[in-house]
Amino acid sequence: MEQQITTLTNHVNVLQGSHQKFTDQYSSHHQQLTMIDTNIALLTHRQDSLENQHKTLMTQMQTLINTLQASQTAPIRQQPARKAKRTSTPYEKTPLKEVKKRFIQPSAESAMEDSDALPLSDEYYTESGEVSDTNTIENTYEASEENNPGQSSFILNPFNWGNKPQV
């Protein structure tokens, strides 16, 4: 019977040793699982942070693209608001040929109607009203023989070079 007690005691000791091993392994596995859970939580947090940074960077990049595109396009000039004149008759378009005839090739009649227009011939009028046919406009100012006090001879020497002003 002593031998049975010894055998049973040995079995109990072996079982206790096995139990201790399993308990230690369980504890080690539990710690590993806890570390894995912690790492998963850290990775999830890091992923969320990276996604937020990505969204922010994409928004900033789009803003930069829009700014660059706006700076490269020519600015649109705003035309002032114009009000059309209202008339009872409809607007008639003038053909381009008539406009060219009227402004580019004026007729002799329209030129003669204009008092400031030069004559169509080779005649030019001088300042005194005389007709000159030399194809140049002549200066017909005549120097006055008398010098009035306080008046310089502007026509002979328009810039009064070399002369002292007469007082």
| pLDDT digits (tens), the chain, 167 positions | 889 999 999 999 999 999 999 999 999 999 999 999 999 999 999 999 999 999 999 999 999 999 999 888 766 666 666 666 666 666 667 777 777 777 775 555 555 555 555 555 555 555 565 655 555 554 544 444 455 555 544 455 556 555 555 55
Over 50-77, what HEC string results? HHHHHHHHHHHHHHHHHHHHHHHCCCCC
113 located within any domain:
no
**Phi, psi (deg, nearest 5) at residue 132:** -120, 130
Over 75-139, what HEC string results? CCCCCCCCCCCCCCCCCCCCCHHHHHHHHCCCCHHHHHHCCCCCCCCCCEECCCCCEECCCCCCC
105 located within any domain:
no
What per-residue confidence (pLDDT) applies to 88? 65
95 located within any domain:
no
57 located within any domain:
yes
What per-residue confidence (pLDDT) applies to 93? 72
Domain count, the chain: 1
What per-residue confidence (pLDDT) applies to 115? 56
Range of the domain at 37: 32-71
Instruction: Give the CA count within 13 Å in the CB-facing half-sphere of 114.
Output: 10
